[in-house]
């Protein structure tokens, strides 16, 4: 880099970006000050480009606003990866009190209450018993191995590997493993 080029460079002005991000998130100067641990007067000066924040201050502001450092500095927002990977040990799971039933939560948390999917494993004699979901809710259970029995709306249906059951769940319902081997399935819940 030549000396003349260095002379024309200025540090990034984060004021307008900071103000836009703060307002988009509906935060007052007081609230952002509290979250970031930066004084309200300093925030005001930064937003009016009367002060240039240190790297530590920019980092605290980016964390408080939940944005990438580069976005606050006026650079391009870091693109999400083309393929997001969730490692096996990072996949949340829940077990029934008797530990005979396990649900691995495969769907992203932001879709919960709309569209959910799980890997369901039921040990012999185990059951996933559920209370009614909201009216219009449905489940789709595809058995991958073993066999499962679905009870819903006063009916009972046995499903074996490769079969899928679709049923309303706006009443109490249950999925049981009455076989002698563990059963594994994919369970999708659609909420209205």
Which of 29, 11, 31 has its CA nearest to residue 74?
Answer: 11
What pTM, to 2 d.p., does this model score? 0.59
Task: HSE, CB side, 13 Å, CA atoms: give it for residue 96.
Answer: 18
pLDDT given at position 10: 64
In the chain, % helix, strand, coil (3-state, to 5) comes to 30, 30, 45
- Which pair of tokens denotes residue 97? 């009190």
The closest of 165, 95, 153, 159 to 127, measured between CA atoms, is 95
Residue 27: closest CA among 36, 74, 76, 78: 36
What is the full per-residue pLDDT of the chain (192 aa) written as tens digits?
444 444 555 666 788 888 888 887 888 888 888 988 989 888 888 888 888 888 888 888 888 888 887 787 775 445 567 888 888 888 888 999 999 999 999 988 777 778 899 999 999 999 999 999 999 999 999 999 999 999 999 999 999 999 999 999 999 999 999 899 999 999 999 988
**What is the pLDDT, as a whole number, of residue 114?**
84
pLDDT for position 11? 65
Do residues 54 and 12 make contact, with C-beta atoms less than 8 angstroms apart?
A: no
What residues contact 25, with CB distance under 8 A and at least 6 apart?
Answer: 65
Domain ranges of the chain: 9-72, 88-190
Q: What is the pLDDT of residue 104?
A: 94
Give the torsion sign (CA, 48, 54, 60, 65).
Answer: positive
What's 9-72's CATH class?
mainly alpha
- Note the pLDDT of residue 76: 45
Parallel, antiparallel, or unpaired: how do β-strands 138-145 and 173-176 relate?
unpaired
CATH number of the domain at 88-190, out of 1.10.3720.10, 2.60.120.10, 3.10.20.30, 2.60.40.10?
A: 2.60.120.10
The total number of residues written for the chain in this structure: 192
The domains spanning 9-72 and 88-190 adopt the same CATH topology: no
Return the pLDDT at 13. 72
CB 137 within 8 A of CB 170: yes
Residues 6+ apart with CB under 8 A from 161: 143, 144, 145, 146, 147
Give the separation between CA 36 and CA 58, rounded to whole angstroms. 9
């Amino acid at each position: 880099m030549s000396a003349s080029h260095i002379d024309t460079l200025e540090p990034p002005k984060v004021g307008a970006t900071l103000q836009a991000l703060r307002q988009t998130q509906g935060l007052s100067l007081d609230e952002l000050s509290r979250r970031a641990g930066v004084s309200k007067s300093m925030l005001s000066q930064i937003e009016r480009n009367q002060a240039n924040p240190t790297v530590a201050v920019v980092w605290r502001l980016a964390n408080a606003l939940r944005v990438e450092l580069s976005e606050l500095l006026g650079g391009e927002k870091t693109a999400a990866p083309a393929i997001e990977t969730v490692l096996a040990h990072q996949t949340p799971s829940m077990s029934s009190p008797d530990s005979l039933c396990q649900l691995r939560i495969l769907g992203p948390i932001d879709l919960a209450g709309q569209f959910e999917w799980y890997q369901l494993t039921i040990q012999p004699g185990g059951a996933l018993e559920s209370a009614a979901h909201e009216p219009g809710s449905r489940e789709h259970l595809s058995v991958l191995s073993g066999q499962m029995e679905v009870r819903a709306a006063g009916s009972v249906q046995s499903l074996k590997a490769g079969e899928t059951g679709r049923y309303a769940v706006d009443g109490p319902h249950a999925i049981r493993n009455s076989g002698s081997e563990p059963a594994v399935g994919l369970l999708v819940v659609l909420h209205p």
